[in-house]
Amino acid sequence: MSKVVIRTKGLTKRYNGVVAVDKLNLTIHRGEIFGLLGPNGSGKTTTILMLLGLTEPTAGEVRVLNLDPARQPLSVKARVGYLPDQIGFYDELTARENLSYTAKLNGLSRKEADERIEAALTRVGLHEVADRPVGTFSRGMKQRLGVADVLIKRPEIIIMDEPTQGLDPEGAHAFLQNILELKEEGITILLASHLLHQVQAVCDRVGLFNRGRMAVSGTVAELAKKILDSGYRIYLEVEGPADKMIPALKAVSGVSKVQRAGKNRYELVARSDLRAEAAAAAVKAGGKLYGLSVEVPSLDDIYTHYFEEVEHGRAS
Amino acid sequence: MAAQAKQDAIPRAREGSPWTGLWAVVLKEMADHLTSTRMRILEILILLTAVGAVYAAMLNIRSTIGRDPFLFLKLFTTSREPLPAFVGFLVFLVPLIAIALGFDAINGEFSRRTMSRLLAQPIYRDALLMGKFLAGFFTLALVFTAIWLLIIGMGIIGLGLPPGGEEVARLLIFLVATIFYGGFWLALAMLFSVRFRQAATAALASLATWLFFTVFWSMLVGLIAQTLRPVRIGLPQEIIAQTELQIALSRLSPNTLYTEILLALLNPALRSMGLVLPIQWEGAILGSPLPLSQSVLLIWPQLTGLIAVTILLFALAYVLFQRQEIRA
Ligand SMILES: Nc1ncnc2c1ncn2[C@@H]1O[C@H](COP(=O)(O)OP(=O)(O)OP(=O)(O)O)[C@@H](O)[C@H]1O
Ligand SMILES: [Mg+2]
């Protein structure tokens, strides 16, 4: 079983009576990418700050790498990298000088710092502009410098708050690729965002935040199962008598609904990806298979559906 | 059982030294100060003031070469119309420089959005605040020492003789006192930089305090003393009571403390701060200089007072900063 690196139990934060995070239980395993999702003000940033010991929890327990961030902040912060939602640098210093300050704060020796700075700058593609003042950098370059900054301490966990905010689609895509590379190296990543398709593209598991509570968590498929009762839509293009096809497809276990979506097109609603089973059933019933596709449930659907339900529940 | 052991492994107290990373902060901040345009301007300002005032003083005291045993002290204290003496400039230039070094120390990190990134590094807030204070303090020390050396150099060339041992000692203590006086204003400006999120507000608050003590406090003190201890019939006791209150109140101002320190150090003939009754003059030869140890004794309360208030201000800034939400 994979090792737990972040665990919270009943974690609560109140600001003058306003509950920002409410009895949060969160478990994150080594090497996974976990996405914190939720609307504005749902408590994502507050949770992150408590994980880093930058804000004292009102109640509850946090363990990061088996350490208590409130009591052992130095050990936690030496091993956990943080990319804040609005990242800033010293504009009059160069990229290299900015990173060098971080290295010194982490107590690295001169030689080690130089090596790591070179590596980090090369890695995020800022090597050519390393000696330019950061004030001249674009938003995307600053964001990449932020990643380099986090990499200086060779973290085991990286926590990112809205990392793709303000990046153009291409920049965001490249950024997500970087995140996947980091995961390859065994770094655990916690990502707070409300850009759903991006989260879906990289996250192994997601947690849906609402008003300080984590409503549901799991893989996208699990959430789909939980929230949309059946998530997958399978499309078949089969030539054959419809009156034979529909019962045959309906008989496949796990399929909850079958309907015609065109002359030779059928739409199936299923609990999981049942393409192979559906195709086999169609062929067995005497059909000629021309096309087969599946629409994986999107996080968008899940999210919208979930918050519609929440609103609905609150209204009634 | 295992859970119990895990619980126990976590210490109750904060781990590690609060000063981890302190020197990294000090060095970075000092480099910033020494290269900033803001400091350039102030350095030029104080340099011109020093050269001008000391040159003017030199013209005045040339005539007394050979007769005055404390010629070098006079370089700092002699004024020549229309210029005030160099120390007169210092009383308000030092606060200005110190404020310039401190007013955006903490809020600047917030407005540049570097604060959360900074505090996500393995350091405590203690190190950040202390590091910034020390950097400002060392910068003050560096600038003033340079000016101090410059003036003494000018003196040696202009007057054609080196300073005496006691003169050097007095001037050294004066230098230290000046640096601490700057430290007070630095701590104040930093307190405001923690308290106010806008650097402009912090600068304004610091300058208002400076203006208050430089201009208004002495007026206010006169008014308060007159109201609380009025001179009704003109009895000597009444006058003494009023003056004593006035002196006590005016000592609440750091400017007064610093001025008194200056006077006692650079004017060895000064025997007492404040009211001198004829009885205290008994046995004293009028105008004869006090030995250095006596002068130091005289300024001791002022100097320790200044340092104590500085520590108090820093402690206040510390408490405020520890409680601050780091999210902008
Ligand atoms: N210093 C504070 N004082 C009072 N309330 C606060 C403070 N900081 C945060 N809150 C409240 O806590 C709640 C959670 O805020 P938080 O910033 O954690 O949300 P978030 O999920 O990160 O939102 P966003 O998506 O906008 O970044 C909000 O209702 C916010 O108003
Ligand atoms: Mg947030």
CA distance B3 to chain A (A): 11
Which overall architecture, per CATH, does domain A4-225 show? 3-Layer(aba) Sandwich (3.40)
Report the nearest-CA residue for atom 24 of ligand 1: A40
Residue range(s) occupied by CATH 3.30.70.100 in chain A: 230-296
Report d(CA B191, CA B209) in Å as an integer: 12
In a domain, B12, yes or no: no
Q: Which residue has the higher pLDDT, B139 or B160?
A: B139
Report d(CA A66, CA A126) in Å as an integer: 35
In a domain, B4, yes or no: no
In a domain, B133, yes or no: yes
In a domain, B27, yes or no: yes
Instruction: Give chain B's mean pLDDT.
Output: 88
CB A230 within 8 A of CB A266: no
How many alpha carbons lie under 13 Å from residue A301 in its C-beta half-sphere?
A: 17
Residue range(s) occupied by CATH 3.40.50.300 in chain A: 4-225
The pLDDT value given to residue A9: 94
CB A35 within 8 A of CB A223: no
Highest mean pLDDT among B45-59, B68-82, B111-125, B221-235: B111-125
User: Pick from B15, B21, B116: which is nearest to A54 by CB?
Assistant: B116
Question: Exposure pattern of B139-169 as b/e (b: 16+ CB <10 Å)?
Answer: bbbebbeebbeebbebbeebbeeebeebbeb
Q: Which chain B residues contact residue A101 at CB under 8 A?
A: 24, 28
Pocket test for ligand 1, best of A24, A40, A47 (most atoms within 8 A of CB): A40
Q: Tell me if B15 and A72 make a contact (CB, 8 A cut-off).
A: yes
The pLDDT value given to residue B277: 55
The number of domains in chain B is 1
**Residue B41 neighbours by CB under 8 Å, 6+ apart:** none
Pairs of residues, one from chain A and one from chain B, whose beta carbons lie less than 8 Å apart: 89
C-alpha distances (whole Å) from B205 to each of A246, B132, B188, B190 are: 79, 19, 9, 11
The pLDDT value given to residue A305: 78
Q: Tell me if A55 and B325 make a contact (CB, 8 A cut-off).
A: yes
Q: How far, in Å, is the centroid of ligand 2 from the Cα of A95? A: 26
Record the pTM.
0.88
Report d(CA B10, CA B13) in Å as an integer: 9
Q: Which two tokens stand for residue B326?
A: 């780091």
Q: Tell me if A84 and B113 make a contact (CB, 8 A cut-off).
A: yes
The pLDDT value given to residue B1: 40
Using CB atoms within 10 A of its CB, is residue A281 exposed (0-12), middle (13-18) or buried (19+)? buried
The pLDDT value given to residue A231: 67
Q: Which helix (H) or strand (E) holds A205?
A: strand A205-210
Q: Which chain A residues contact residue B13 at CB under 8 A?
A: 71
Q: Which chain A residues contact residue B121 at CB under 8 A?
A: 77, 102, 105-106, 153
CB A227 within 8 A of CB A308: no
Residue with tokens 């959430």: A223
Q: Which two tokens stand for residue B266?
A: 């650079």
Report d(CA B93, CA B144) in Å as an integer: 11
Q: How confident is the model at residue B5 (pLDDT cuts 50, 70, 90)?
A: very low
Query: What domain range is B246 assigned to?
Result: 18-323
Three-state DSSP class for A151? helix
Q: How far, in Å, is the centroid of ligand 2 from the Cα of A46? A: 7
Q: How far, in Å, is the centroid of ligand 2 from the Cα of A86? A: 9
CB A132 within 8 A of CB A99: no
Q: How far, in Å, is the centroid of ligand 1 from the Cα of A44? A: 8
Nearest residue in chain A measured CA to CA from B121: A77
Over 90: is that where the pLDDT of B24 sits? yes
Residues at Cβ < 5 Å from ligand 2 ion? A 45
Report d(CA B199, CA B211) in Å as an integer: 18
Report the nearest-CA residue for atom 30 of ligand 1: A41
Q: How far, in Å, is the centroid of ligand 1 from the Cα of A291? A: 48
- For every residue of B137-165, DSSP letters joined together read HHHHHHHHHHHHHHHHHHHHHHHSSPPPH
Report the nearest-CA residue for atom 31 of ligand 1: A41
The pLDDT value given to residue B2: 44
**Whose atoms come closest to the Cα of A12: which ligand?**
1
Q: Which chain A residues contact residue B15 at CB under 8 A?
A: 71-75
Three-state DSSP class for A66? coil
Using CB atoms within 10 A of its CB, is residue B109 exposed (0-12), middle (13-18) or buried (19+)? buried
Report d(CA B266, CA B173) in Å as an integer: 10
What pairs with residue A259 in β-bridges? Answer: A267
Q: Tell me if B24 and A90 make a contact (CB, 8 A cut-off).
A: no
Three-state DSSP class for A140? helix
Three-state DSSP class for A29? strand
Helix-helix angle B37-61:B86-102, to 10 degrees: 170
Three-state DSSP class for A24? strand
The pLDDT value given to residue A76: 96
Pocket (CB within 6 angstroms of ligand 1): A 15, 18, 20, 38, 40-46; B 325, 327
User: Pick from A54, A55, A68: which is nearest to B10 by CB?
Assistant: A68
Three-state DSSP class for A58? coil
Report d(CA B40, CA B42) in Å as an integer: 5
User: For the segment B76-95, what is each residue's pLDDT rounded down to a tens digit?
Assistant: 888 877 778 888 889 889 99
Q: Which chain A residues contact residue B326 at CB under 8 A?
A: 49, 54-55
The pLDDT value given to residue B6: 47
Q: Which chain B residues contact residue A106 at CB under 8 A?
A: 121-122
Report the nearest-CA residue for atom 27 of ligand 1: A40
In a domain, B294, yes or no: yes
Report d(CA B109, CA B122) in Å as an integer: 17
Say if domain A230-296 classifies as CATH 3.40.50.300. no
Q: How far, in Å, is the centroid of ligand 1 from the Cα of B22? A: 31
User: For the segment B157-215, what is each residue's pLDDT rounded down to a tens digit?
Assistant: 988 888 988 999 999 999 999 999 999 999 999 999 999 999 999 999 999 999 999 88
Helix ranges (DSSP H) in chain B: 2-9, 22-35, 37-61, 71-77, 86-102, 107-111, 115-119, 125-159, 165-195, 199-211, 217-228, 236-250, 254-266, 292-323
In a domain, B3, yes or no: no
Over 60: is that where the pLDDT of B148 sits? yes
The pLDDT value given to residue B276: 58
Q: Which of residues 91-120 of A touch B (CB under 8 A)?
A: 91, 101-102, 104-107
Nearest residue in chain A measured CA to CA from B29: A101
Helix ranges (DSSP H) in chain A: 44-51, 73-79, 95-105, 110-123, 139-151, 169-184, 196-202, 220-227, 242-250, 275-284, 299-315
Residue with tokens 């300073």: B163
Residues of chain A with pLDDT below 70 are 1-2, 229-231, 314-316
Report the nearest-CA residue for atom 10 of ligand 1: A20
Report d(CA A41, CA A26) in Å as an integer: 18
In a domain, B164, yes or no: yes
Report d(CA A209, CA A216) in Å as an integer: 8
Backbone torsions φ then ψ of B103, nearest 5 degrees = -70, -20
The pLDDT value given to residue A2: 66
3-state DSSP of A82-106: EECCCCCCCCCCEHHHHHHHHHHHC
Q: How far, in Å, is the centroid of ligand 1 from the Cα of A43? A: 6
Strand order in the sheet with A157-161: A80-83, A157-161, A188-193, A33-37, A205-210, A213-218
Backbone torsions φ then ψ of B219, nearest 5 degrees = -65, -45
Give yes or no for A54 touching B (CB within 8 A). yes
Q: Which two tokens stand for residue B89?
A: 């400039």
Between CA A140 and CA A149, with CA A144 as vertex, the angle to 5 degrees is 140
What's the farthest any 2 CA atoms get from each other in chain B? 89
Q: Which chain B residues contact residue A54 at CB under 8 A?
A: 116, 119-120, 326
Three-state DSSP class for B231? coil
User: Pick from A55, A87, A105: which is nearest to B21 by CB?
Assistant: A105
When scoring B26, B117, B132 by the number of chain A Cβ atoms within 10 A, the one with the most, hence best to mutate, is B117
Report d(CA A165, CA A85) in Å as an integer: 8
Over 90: is that where the pLDDT of B272 sits? no
